[in-house]
A and B are shown apart, each in its own frame.
Chain A
Amino acid sequence: MSLSFILRRLGYGVLLIFGVVVLNFLLIRLAPGDPAVVIAGEMGGATEEILDRIREDYGLNQPLTTQLAIYVGNVLQGDLGQSFFFNQPVSRLIAQRIGPTILLVLTAQVLSILLGVFLGVIASRKPNGPASAFVSIFATIGYAVPVFWTGIMLIILFASVVPIFPIEGIQSVRLRDAPLLVRGLDIAHHLVLPAFTLAVVYLAQYARLSRASMLDVLGSDYIRTARAKGGSERAILFKHALRNAALPILTIAGMQFGNLISGALLVETVFNWPGIGRLAFDSILRRDYPTIMGVLFFASAAVVVANILTDLSYRWADPRLREQ
């Protein structure tokens, strides 16, 4: 894999994020009314003093291009503005909530890929067998059911029927000061339902995709060659077939990352998970524009990074795409 490819890819990523910053900037200016009032937020009940400070900070009395330059300059310095509703810098708000969201999204991603691919591989071994039928049914249901519905059903199930998993928050109040290991386990315990809820949709998709992909690959000539060598069934499935079948799964996994982040918004809201999604929900309700913009910025940066990683892993996994 060449350095120039990585650099080019990074260059596109930076351009994309810059585009998002410009869009963010325009968003405020397109909102009806005085931008200073918009930035202060409707719930703020902002005094004339505060509005003047905002006009000063954002250069709202100066030409649009100067305003853009100021805004981009601020973002480059990690200053995403001030949330007047939360009365905190947006960058600090995001920094506080980034951990839980990354934990939730990555857990859901890993869970859905591992479990989905596992189900798909099992199903592909007997395309007309019961496991295969189960995967098809499960995939259809998982795909059709909205995320928040799954979440609410799980809450009902675990709140009243089998109360073995916490249905709200990220940790128990009484364990806040417990030793690190206990707190870690407590967080993992709280993570089960939100992560599973978020994972279900994608798990179903990965199961169906990897089943189809495996069936395709298992019929190919090189699998027959592997059999002709006397390879075991396991080596054929996991060494020869899965490595090839994984290629389309990798692409989809990268493309789904953006959806996963927007799914996190719903899941965090339903389970009161203190992450970026919850923050986005709150700030949208309050029309807290600086925070909304900060969240958009974070989400797009995350998607760009995920896409770059996908591209790199794809090239790593498929030697035909590597440049010599």
Chain B
Amino acid sequence: MTPLLEIDNLRVTFDTRHGMVTALDSVSLHLNAGETLGVVGESGCGKSITALSVMGLIPQPPGRIAGGSIRLNGEDLVGAEPARLRSLRGSDVAMIFQEPMTSLNPVLRCGDQIAEAVMLHQNVDSARASRLAVELLDRVGIPAPAQRARDYPHQLSGGMRQRVMIAMAVSCRPKVLVADEPTTALDVTVQAQIFDLLNEIQRDVGAAILLITHDMGAISEMADRVAVMYAGRVVEQGKADDVLDHAEHPYTRGLIDCIPALGRRDDTLREIPGVVPPLHLLGDGCAFASRCAHADRRCLAQKPVLTKWRHHPVACHAVEEGRI
């Protein structure tokens, strides 16, 4: 069976004042119908750029898809006609953004913004679209949906706005729902509600979800499979349980160690030492080498390739050589 969404060898570059940088390099991911693929990694590793590539929304310039392909049901979205992309966007692939506070248009009513999405892709008049918008608001758990539909975004809380975004995104029953850190900007209690809602919606609509997060906890609860990204590359990939139980890449292990375990004795919040190197300073070696306890000469000189050595594909010389 061919996957619903297949990203193959994707390379995205940006023109910056440091010259051209490669934000995504050789990224290959796939998403089967109805499943949830988690993408994790620290800030700046290219999660949002991956999501925006799928949506065809990389800001160009300065950005550019320099290579690879993104296939939806076998149709390549890279280089597709703008009109074709517009008709897919919002209907077959939809996205929930990281920033609920700023992602809704401040001068338009929430209901109208949802109704607009409906009318763009379904053959309904505006009265019917408005009614659908209210139904959708109800569906995503917004109390008094008819009144809220007439509200402007600033009248709603962050959690409510994210629900509005979700209602908008699922309004045309997309096949692929890209959720870019949908809960990062929200309170912890609201986060759990939003994840529950996404699970329900997925069952309802049957959408496959590309769930982007930097939260390993969310991955263990939501994802069927997971891809770990670092500095624009996928460094480890596999079934979520498998990756969580048998993490191989030192970076993935670091991320898992960062999950605050309830009742853990030492109160210190663990973190991976060092910071992600800026893209323009990436050299020939493994991007993680400067922060890795297992790095040797080869790690500094040569980029490891994603290959299955033991459990699942991982890009690490130390794993390949059996050093860890």
Residues of A in contact with B (beta carbons under 8 Å apart)? 220-222, 224-232, 235, 240, 243-244, 317-320, 324
A231 to B121 CA separation, bound complex (whole angstroms)? 10
Residues of A within 8 A of B97 (CB): 221, 224-225, 228
Q: Quick check: A222 and B120 within 8 Å, CB to CB?
A: no
B154 CB contact (under 8 Å) in A225, A240, A320: A320
Give chain B nearest CB distance to A31 CB in angstroms.
51
Interface centre among B91, B117, B154, B168 (most CB of A within 10 A): B117
Q: Mark B145-173, 1 if CB is under 8 A from A, else 0.
A: 00000001011000000000100110000
Cβ of B94 within 8 Å of any chain A Cβ, yes or no, is yes
Total interface residues on B, CB under 8 Å, equals: 29
Interface centre among B87, B102, B103 (most CB of A within 10 A): B103
Q: Quick check: B102 and A228 within 8 Å, CB to CB?
A: no
Which residues of B51-98 have CB atoms within 8 Å of chain A's CB atoms?
55, 57, 86-91, 94-95, 97
Q: Quick check: B106 and A319 within 8 Å, CB to CB?
A: yes
A221 CB contact (under 8 Å) in B94, B103, B120: B103
Residues of B within 8 A of A220 (CB): 102
B99 CB contact (under 8 Å) in A221, A240, A243: A221
Residues of A within 8 A of B102 (CB): 220-222
Q: Quick check: A229 and B117 within 8 Å, CB to CB?
A: yes
Cβ of B144 within 8 Å of any chain A Cβ, yes or no, is no
Residues of A within 8 A of B293 (CB): none
A228 CB contact (under 8 Å) in B87, B94, B106, B154: B94
Which residue of chain B is the closest to A247 with respect to CB atoms?
Answer: B107
A222 CB contact (under 8 Å) in B57, B91, B106: B106
Q: Quick check: B89 and A230 within 8 Å, CB to CB?
A: yes
A229 CB contact (under 8 Å) in B106, B120, B152: B120
Interface centre among A226, A229, A324 (most CB of B within 10 A): A229
Q: Quick check: A229 and B103 within 8 Å, CB to CB?
A: no
Give chain B nearest CB distance to A214 CB in angstroms.
14
3 nearest CB pairs, A to B: A230-B90, A230-B89, A229-B90
Main secondary structure of the interface of B (DSSP, over half): mixed
Give chain A nearest CB distance to B311 CB in angstroms.
36
Q: Quick check: A230 and B121 within 8 Å, CB to CB?
A: yes
Residues of B within 8 A of A318 (CB): 106-107
Residues of B in contact with A (beta carbons under 8 Å apart)? 55, 57, 86-91, 94-95, 97, 99, 102-108, 116-117, 120-121, 152, 154-155, 165, 168-169
Q: Quick check: A232 and B86 within 8 Å, CB to CB?
A: yes
A240 to B99 CA separation, bound complex (whole angstroms)? 18
Q: A228-B95, A230-B90 are in contact. List 8 more A-B contacts (CB 8 A).
A: A222-B104, A225-B165, A227-B89, A228-B89, A229-B89, A230-B86, A230-B121, A319-B106
A228 to B86 CA separation, bound complex (whole angstroms)? 8
Give chain A nearest CB distance to B322 CB in angstroms.
45
Q: Quick check: A230 and B107 within 8 Å, CB to CB?
A: no
Q: Quick check: B86 and A222 within 8 Å, CB to CB?
A: no
Q: Quick check: A243 and B57 within 8 Å, CB to CB?
A: no
Give chain A nearest CB distance to B86 CB in angstroms.
5
Q: Quick check: B105 and A227 within 8 Å, CB to CB?
A: no
A319 to B151 CA separation, bound complex (whole angstroms)? 10
Residues of B within 8 A of A225 (CB): 97, 103-105, 165, 168
Residues of A within 8 A of B88 (CB): 230
Residues of B within 8 A of A230 (CB): 86-91, 117, 120-121
Given A221-B99, A224-B57, A224-B97, does the pair A229, B116 have CB atoms closer than 8 Å? Answer: yes
Which residue of chain A is the closest to B120 with respect to CB atoms?
Answer: A230
A240 to B116 CA separation, bound complex (whole angstroms)? 11
Interface centre among A220, A228, A243, A318 (most CB of B within 10 A): A228
Residues of A within 8 A of B104 (CB): 222, 225
Give chain A nearest CB distance to B116 CB in angstroms.
7
A230 to B154 CA separation, bound complex (whole angstroms)? 24
Of the A-B pairs whose beta carbons lie under 8 Å apart in the complex, a sample of 6, sorted by A's number, is: A222-B102, A226-B105, A229-B116, A230-B86, A232-B86, A243-B105
Q: Quick check: A228 and B107 within 8 Å, CB to CB?
A: no
Q: Quick check: B168 and A229 within 8 Å, CB to CB?
A: yes
Which residue of chain B is the closest to A219 with respect to CB atoms?
Answer: B59
Give chain B nearest CB distance to A125 CB in angstroms.
14
Which residue of chain B is the closest to A128 with respect to CB atoms?
Answer: B61
Which residue of chain A is the closest to B92 with respect to CB atoms?
Answer: A230
Give chain B nearest CB distance to A233 CB in angstroms.
8
Residues of A within 8 A of B86 (CB): 230-232
